[in-house]
Chains A and B, each alone.
Chain A
């Protein structure tokens, strides 16, 4: 009996000491956690896309907990539904989310532009870009090897005729593709907009014309016809300032007057708007 006790007692004592130390330590060094944090974190989509401007969903949830002035409408993929839930939890007024969708600013598909060389390297835009700017004659355009397609969490991007297209019905506007494109051709545009410039070629008109029949030659015709002065030609390529573009009465006049057809009328209503209407 005593042999058992001499073995058991030291182990029990050591166990109790360890437990006591742990209890004291956990009491002394308890980390206060906002009880709203898990709730907020749960209603965020968890894509960690960074569209809100914080380091992932955890970062945004933390910022929301810590400061009341953090806007609740920053989560573009989550859209209005998430914004509503967030404002309920935090007890602030609901703010509408401006839903965005990705737009590829290039329309130089294989019918409008040609290959300079035959590329047989790694099937990745980033790799092809390093090799003399890619195989296409236009070094500003879409490389068509699908880095954005592979990065898209919703499979909303597809490659057709050698360039990337965004299926706006599927796009949640997270903006991951905008960061993967080595030519920075993809940008986020509010989904109520109707006109987009589908060229990013910054060369002079004559050079652009030679490499792509769809390219913007910087003729400034759109600049002149736009009633609200929302279009400007910057570095030989037309850029629409959407804060000034009111989807005007003369709707689509810029697109109709475009000499090369690089300004397009397009339905950008994304998945969020689509769901609302249905």
Chain B
């Protein structure tokens, strides 16, 4: 149990996918302008990360590993995740059209989101069991959510402030992203000592 909590918390804070591992930067910069779209995107990412892990983990363990096909990992995972996201989109369009509309282009964007592919591959590399892998995906998703919500708050503050002309637009956004990622540095070493 302690191990699961450590995995969860370290996925959220220490190894935060966006701010510590620099995965999934595209939606982090692209969709964080407004709080509601940032929340929608993050929820979709959490959902897709969990689904992707649930599907790719058995494929790796029962199909690729026994047949010595580990080198096909990347291409098979990409294939499966893309099909999965497409399926989710079809289901959402049919049953939750309002959510489908508000997610809009973000849902297909998740297909090529490196955070999703990253979490599935890292789950295998770390040698997690299935439960641990699912907890890690949940934590990574929550970490993504946290980063997105925090950064959308930072960006809305930037919007209201007087930014020097040469910094307006992307430069100030990148500077703000750097400072936000600095703030996560402080979590290093906290979790290990918490349960030591």
Contacts and interface: CB of A to CB of B under 8 A. Distances in A.
A26 B69 contact: no
B99 to A, nearest CB: 14
Given A18-B79, A18-B83, A22-B83, A10 B69 contact: yes
A10 B67 CA distance: 10
Contacts of A206: none
A138 B76 CA distance: 71
Contacts, number: 44
Interface of B: 59, 63-64, 67, 69, 71-72, 75-76, 79-80, 82-83, 86-87, 90-91, 93-95, 97
B72 A25 contact: no
Counting contact residues on chain A (CB < 8 A from B), the size range is: 10 to 19
A6 B86 contact: no
Nearest to B83: A18
A22 B83 CA distance: 7
B83 A6 contact: no
A278 interface: no
Interface in A1-53: 6-7, 10-11, 14-15, 18-19, 21-22, 25-26, 29-31
A11 B79 contact: yes
B79 A14 contact: yes
Given A6-B67, A6-B69, A21-B83, A14 B90 contact: no
A26 B94 CA distance: 9
B72 A22 contact: no
Contacts of B75: 11
B93 A10 contact: no
Nearest to A13: B63
A31 B94 contact: yes
A127 B83 CA distance: 50
A14 B87 CA distance: 15
Contacts of A19: 83
B69 A7 contact: yes
B87 A21 contact: yes
Nearest first, the 3 closest Cβ-Cβ pairs linking A and B are A18-B83, A29-B94, A25-B90
A25 B87 CA distance: 7
A111 to B, nearest CB: 35
